[in-house]
Structure 1
Amino acid sequence: MTETDVWVFHGAGSRFTSGVFTSRPQAEEFISQYQLSGILTKYPLGISAYDWAQQQGIFQPTKPEQYSTGFIQRFTSASQEHYHYEDGKCE
């Protein structure tokens, strides 16, 4: 991780982020403390996941709908480093 990355935790079934952390250990302490379930994902700061994936050569839009606001605002990439947790433990 560089100083331009953060770790974002989304609890299972949540529409919103429940925590943003500067390191994975910091995030895992929170997840473990409350025995949470969800996904912890590393995000770059200052750039959207959509633009980041294109810059990394991971994703290139090929269909008109992939340029739409609806697509872009829901975009995530499985290529982003991420971990799944169940009851506070990494699966």
Structure 2
Amino acid sequence: MKEIWVFNGSMARFPSGLFFSLDNAKEWIKDNKLSGVLTKYPINTGVYDWSIENGFFTPQDEKHKLPSFIGSFTCASLDHFHFENGEED
């Protein structure tokens, strides 16, 4: 297992579901009529490091190496799906 699917509800500060299977995640979202984003995250690495290793991001400024930047970093290149009331957007 090299990745996990994480669901973040549209008004949530923290994830509300973690899934090994995309099908299971989509079924849970549909059954509960949820709105939010389902994103595939790499396991055992940070998104910041993964993005650099895969050529999606190159730090170009000293601020890009600060803990506050790394800790809040996200990458639009991660596979993701948007949902509204349980239906894929």
SS at match of 1:14: coil
Aligned length: 89
Q: CA deviation at 1:62?
A: 0.5
TM-score scaled by structure 2?
A: 0.96
Q: Which runs of 5+ in 1 are unaligned?
A: none
Hey, what does 2:50 align to over in structure 1?
A: 52
Q: Work out the CA distance in 2 between the residues paired with 1:62 and 1:41.
A: 26
Could you tell me the percent identity over the aligned residues?
42
SS at match of 1:20: strand
Hey, what does 2:67 align to over in structure 1?
A: 69
Q: Which runs of 5+ in 2 are unaligned?
A: none
The runs of 4+ residues in structure 1 deviating greater than 3 Å are: none
Deviations, residues 29-62 of structure 1 (Å, cap 9, x unaligned):
1101110000000011100000000000110111
Q: CA RMSD in A?
A: 0.7
